[in-house]
Amino acid sequence: MRSLKRVLAVAVPVVVLALTPAATVAGGPSVFGKGTTTVSIKSAALAPGGAVVTIKYSCFPVGYGPYGTFGYTQVGDVHGDQGFSFFKPSCNDRWQTQGIFVPGAFRPGDAAVTATVCGFDCNFDTREVKLR
DSSP string, 22-86: GGSGGG-SBTTB--S-EEEEEEEEEETTEEEEEEEEE----SSSTTS-EEEEEEEETTS-EEEEE
Nearest Cα neighbor of 87 from 99, 77, 75 is 99
Q: What is the pLDDT of residues 10-30, one digit of tens each?
A: 444 444 444 444 444 444 444
Going by pLDDT thresholds of 50, 70 and 90, the confidence category of residue 48 is very high
Specify the pLDDT at position 125. Answer: 98
Report whether 68 contacts 90 (CB < 8 A). no
Least confident range of 28-37, 39-48, 62-71, 78-87:
28-37
Q: What is the phi/psi pair of residue 93, to 5°?
A: 65, 25
Specify the pLDDT at position 21. Answer: 46
Domains along the chain with CATH numbers: 36-131 (2.60.40.2550)
In sequence order, the β-bridge partners of residue 124 are: 116
Specify the pLDDT at position 7. Answer: 45
Q: What is the phi/psi pair of residue 13, to 5°?
A: -60, -35
The angle formed by the CA atoms of residues 97, 125 and 109, to the nearest 5 degrees, is: 90
Residue 127 vs residue 16, higher pLDDT = 127
Q: What is the pLDDT of residues 78-125, one digit of tens each?
A: 999 999 999 999 999 999 999 999 999 999 999 999 999 999 899 999
